[in-house]
Structure 1
């Protein structure tokens, strides 16, 4: 970086070059079952938390989030959809909700299990060639 007044310096460009393109993984810890927020989580635990929170957040309903964040799972479950329709639409909706994030390369191998009024969805996410098993209760 030159300090001469003869050479213009674009500070914003220099800052952008110094910053990494990777998104940070450290975030606040959330216990979704009990609704408790506390501590911090990092790494794979933070990614898993992001996945669950994204799936459980209704898309287009909260102005704090942009239109890419969240899913339409709630709309599917609120309808009188058959299990066959849910088996095709839930994977599509989850993939659409997660793949916008640059950290997630792939979402695949979905399995839905219904127990009473609860629906369990298990699948795998791929991040930097690492495969992470997920299970979300909807």
Structure 2
């Protein structure tokens, strides 16, 4: 019971609860670049599995290029393709990843970045702390080369 009879403290507490709904995304086949099907139908996954899909799509989507997305979605990693100053590439790649992913309210922290040159780009591994717990992300920045 509140000292103000017109204020319901339980309703007030519920309205201030900023709990995010369960994060859902369509199951995705990264190898073949298509949605996964179950019994001929697409299906949803939840939690960190869904966030992993969102992360890969956000990193692979060029920011400001597609009108279907607002200016917060995507990354600017494509601007590093063809860059020659290797002392700038890795810090910029890390910054672009952080900027692209931290717009998602389900992601709390990105840490422990590790970079390795691969045949087609730079392989990036990092820890992603979400509202659902920790996850290890491995992603390849195709076309980005480090001398």
TM-score by length of 2: 0.74
Per the alignment, do residues 129 and 49 of structure 1 end up closer, same or farther by CA in structure 2, a change over 3 Å counting?
closer
Equivalent position of 2:95 in the other structure: 92
Segments ≥4 residues shifted beyond 3 Å: none
Note the aligned Cα RMSD (angstroms): 2.3
Equivalent position of 1:24 in the other structure: 22
Equivalent position of 1:40 in the other structure: 44
Gaps of at least 5 residues in structure 1 are: 1-16
Per the alignment, do residues 115 and 96 of structure 1 end up closer, same or farther by CA in structure 2, a change over 3 Å counting?
same
**In the TM superposition, what whole-angstrom CA distance separates every residue of 1:73-122 from its partner, at most 9, and x where no partner exists?**
11112x32333222110110000011111111111111111122322111
- Could you tell me which of 74, 80, 101 is aligned with 2:78? 74
Aligned residues: 122
- Could you tell me which of 45, 50, 55 is aligned with 1:51? 55
Gaps of at least 5 residues in structure 2 are: 1-14, 37-42, 142-147
Per the alignment, do residues 98 and 119 of structure 1 end up closer, same or farther by CA in structure 2, a change over 3 Å counting?
same
* Structure ranking higher on relative contact order (CA contacts 8 Å, 6+ apart): 2
